[in-house]
């Protein structure tokens, strides 16, 4: 295992709601020694850096500033949050085409100054953007990862903990596949303090049935849309997820996270980014874990991968 670095540097590209919230979370948690904010609208990055810096005396010490792509040099983690938001009436493919072009220019600028570190992609559609950045950058697969279904998985754990009346820290389970409509819960590996979820269904005292499982899965899938409907955008949950992944990377934790990487061969899936439980450390994804999925789960996972691939095939040559 590598030694944890005494000094750490992170860049966030894009200071919209998600990027700025992630920066604020990192400042609160003192995640890195140095944090640079980069945005095509430099005044926005300057304003966010000033605002967060004014709170630092109550939070701790770190170097936090607005910069440009030259500051990518020596970054341990480069977080990509920049991109257009999906507008009413716009399809997922419309958004993909728009953000793939933005991501292409970003990748060119990143690689002019890149000398090491992990690229963490958050921009949507995240599975598509991660695949393209990995190809354009020429970096090894595990060095370019996505936030994937990390947020979906903690939503899953939260909703399940609420339904069962237990601490979410004792609920273990994953959402896998696409970060989108075809995602699926890995029910066969879901447990509460070692007790498989199916034991709760079999025990009448818990009043937990297959219908509850379906509702939780649906609520996880639609959570983002519900939040957007109510407040216009989602950014706090993903900001915490970004910070957690960055901490995993910087501290070389070998923690299992459902980040996304290019999958080749596992479960019969080829050349597409989906999210699966993976060991993450300072080098990025060390290993994608193989689970004994049920036949139904494996079929659903392949369907999810094909949904991503269908969009990917439309934008590969942009």
Q: What amino acid positions are annotated as catalytic residues?
A: 179
Q: At what angle do helices 150-164 and 236-250 cross, to 10 degrees?
A: 110
**Judging by DSSP bridges, how do beta strands 77-80 and 63-66 pair with one another?**
unpaired
What distance in Å separates the CA atoms of residue 234 and residue 107, rounded to the nearest whole number? 25
H/E run at residue 175 = strand 175-176
CB 186 within 8 A of CB 293: yes
- How far is C-alpha 255 from the chain's CA centre? 14
**Tokens linked to 311:** 């969009």
What distance in Å separates the CA atoms of residue 136 and residue 126, rounded to the nearest whole number? 15
| CA proximity to 154, closest of 200, 220, 232 | 220
What distance in Å separates the CA atoms of residue 112 and residue 84, rounded to the nearest whole number? 23
What distance in Å separates the CA atoms of residue 245 and residue 264, rounded to the nearest whole number? 23
In the β-sheet with 171-172, what is the strand arrangement from edge to edge? 171-172, 191-192, 195-196
């Amino acid at each position: 295992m590598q030694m944890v670095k005494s000094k750490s540097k992170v860049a966030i590209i894009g200071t919209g709601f998600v990027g700025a919230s992630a920066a604020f979370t990192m400042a609160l948690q003192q995640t890195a020694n140095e944090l640079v904010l980069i945005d095509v609208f430099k005044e926005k990055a300057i304003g966010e850096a000033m605002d967060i810096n004014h709170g630092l005396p109550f939070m701790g010490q770190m170097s936090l500033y607005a910069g440009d792509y030259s500051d990518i040099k020596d970054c341990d983690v480069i977080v990509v949050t920049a991109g257009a938001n999906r507008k009413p009436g716009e399809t997922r493919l419309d958004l993909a085409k728009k953000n793939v072009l933005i991501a292409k220019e970003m990748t060119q600028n990143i690689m002019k100054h890149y000398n090491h570190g992990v690229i963490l992609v958050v921009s949507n559609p995240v599975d598509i953007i991660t695949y393209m950045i990995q190809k354009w950058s020429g970096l090894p697969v595990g060095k370019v990862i996505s936030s994937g279904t990390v947020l979906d998985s903690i939503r899953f754990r939260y909703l399940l903990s609420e339904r069962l009346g237990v601490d979410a820290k004792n609920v273990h389970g994953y959402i896998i596949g696409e970060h989108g409509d075809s995602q699926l819960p890995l029910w066969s590996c879901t447990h509460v303090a070692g007790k498989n979820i199916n034991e709760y269904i079999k025990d009448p005292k818990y009043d937990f049935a297959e219908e509850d499982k379906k509702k939780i899965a649906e609520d996880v899938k639609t959570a983002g849309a519900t939040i957007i409907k109510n407040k216009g955008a989602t950014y706090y949950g993903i900001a915490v997820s970004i910070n957690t992944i960055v901490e995993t990377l910087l501290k070389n934790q070998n923690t299992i996270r459902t980040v996304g990487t290019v999958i080749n061969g596992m479960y019969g899936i080829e050349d597409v980014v989906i999210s699966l439980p993976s060991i993450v450390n300072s080098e990025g994804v060390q290993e994608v874990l193989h689970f004994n999925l049920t036949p139904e789960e494996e079929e659903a996972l392949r369907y999810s991968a094909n949904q991503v691939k269908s969009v990917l095939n439309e934008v590969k040559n942009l």
